[in-house]
Chains A and B, each alone.
Chain A
Amino acid sequence: MKFTSGKNRSEDLHSNADIEAIYDRYAPRFLGLCYRYCGNREDAEDIMHDGFLNIIRNAHQFQSRGEGSLEAWMKRIMVTTSLKYLRDHVKYRKYLVFESVREENNFPEDEDEPSYPELSQPELLQLITELPLGYRTVFNFYVLENYSHKEIAGLLHCSENTSKTQLMKARAWLRKRIMESEKTEEYGHKESSCR
Chain B
Amino acid sequence: MDTKNHRVDDLFRKGLADLEISPTASGRSSFMKKARAEIKKRSVRVFWLPGSVVILLIALLGGAYLVNKKATKNQTAQITGRQTTDIRPSHMTTTAMMTRPIRKSVPAQNPGISANKKTRLPENDNNLKVRNNRTFHLTTSSNQKENKDQKREISSIKSGQETTSISRPEPSVVISTRQESLPKEPSLNHESGSTFLPDRPAKDSLQTISSAALPGTRRTVKDTNAVAAEIPQAKSPEHSNERSVQDKKWNIRAGIYYMPEWIFNTLDKNKYINNFGAEGVFRFGRYSLRTGIGLSVTRGSNEIAIDTKPYLGSYHSLDSITYHWDSRHYYLVPKVYTTLKDVFDTALHKNYFTMEREYTYLQIPLILGYDFYDKNWFSLGMRFGPVLSLLIKTRELTSAYDAGKDLILTVNNITPDRIHLNWQAMAGINASFHLSRRFIFELEPNLRYYFDSVYEKSGTSDKPWSIGIRASIMVNL
Contact = CB atoms under 8 A, between A and B. Distances in A.
A125 B42 CA distance: 37
Contacts of B9: 143, 171
A119 interface: yes
A124 B18 CA distance: 12
Contact of B35 (A53, A109, A124): A53
B21 A41 contact: yes
Interface string B32-45: 10111011001000
Given A53-B35, A128-B16, A23 B459 contact: no
Contacts of A168: 1
A59 B122 CA distance: 85
A74 B2 CA distance: 26
B22 interface: yes
Interface in B27-55: 27-28, 30-32, 34-36, 38-39, 42
Contact of B20 (A29, A148, A149): A29
Given A113-B7, A143-B13, A31 B38 contact: no
The A interface, classified by DSSP as helix, strand, loop or mixed, is helix
A41 B23 CA distance: 9
A174 interface: yes
A170 to B, nearest CB: 9
Interface string A167-178: 010010011001
B21 A56 contact: no
Nearest to A29: B20
Most buried by A among B8, B24, B39: B8
Interface in A64-79: none
Most buried by B among A29, A139, A143: A143
A88 to B, nearest CB: 6
A163 to B, nearest CB: 10
B35 A16 contact: yes
A113 B8 contact: yes
Interface in A19-71: 19-20, 23, 27-29, 31-33, 35-36, 41, 44-45, 48-50, 52-53, 56-57
Contacts of B34: 49, 53
B19 interface: yes
Contact of B30 (A49, A115, A143, A148): A49
A139 B6 CA distance: 12
Contacts of B6: 113, 171
A53 B38 contact: yes
B321 interface: no
Contacts of A114: 7
B12 interface: yes
B282 to A, nearest CB: 43
Interface residues of A, number: 49
A57 B42 contact: yes
A124 B39 contact: no
A171 B21 contact: no
Given A27-B23, A119-B15, A52 B7 contact: no
Nearest to A45: B27
Given A14-B39, A149-B2, A178-B8, A121 B31 contact: no
Contacts of A36: 16, 19
Q: How large is the interface on B (under 10, 10 to 19, 20 to 34, 35 or more residues)?
A: 20 to 34
A44 B35 CA distance: 17
B340 interface: no
Contact of A23 (B15, B32, B42): B32
Interface in A112-159: 113-116, 119-121, 124-125, 128, 139, 143-144, 148-149
B16 A124 contact: yes
Contacts of B39: 13-16, 19, 56
B11 interface: yes
A188 to B, nearest CB: 21
B8 A175 contact: yes
Contacts of B459: 50, 84, 88
Contacts of B8: 113, 116, 171, 174-175, 178
A31 B22 contact: yes
A24 B4 CA distance: 38
A176 to B, nearest CB: 10
B11 A27 contact: no
Contact of B16 (A41, A144, A178): A144
Given A53-B35, A84-B459, A143-B9, A124 B21 contact: no
A116 B13 CA distance: 13
A23 B28 contact: yes
Given A109-B1, A116-B8, A124-B11, A32 B35 contact: no
Given A28-B22, A164-B2, A116 B11 contact: yes
Contacts of B22: 27-28, 31
A29 B27 CA distance: 15
Contacts of A178: 8, 11
Contacts of B1: 109, 164, 168
Most buried by A among B1, B31, B42: B31
Contacts of A13: 39
Interface string A68-105: 00000000000000001000100000000000000000
Given A49-B31, A53-B38, A178-B8, A28 B16 contact: no
Contact of A124 (B12, B23, B30, B38): B12
Contacts of A49: 27, 30-31, 34
Nearest to B30: A49
10 contacts: A14-B39, A31-B20, A35-B21, A49-B31, A50-B459, A53-B38, A56-B35, A119-B15, A124-B15, A164-B1
Q: Nearest 4 pairs between A and B by C-beta?
A: A32-B19, A28-B20, A124-B15, A31-B21
Given A44-B21, A116-B8, A164-B2, 4 more contacts: A16-B36, A19-B32, A88-B459, A174-B12
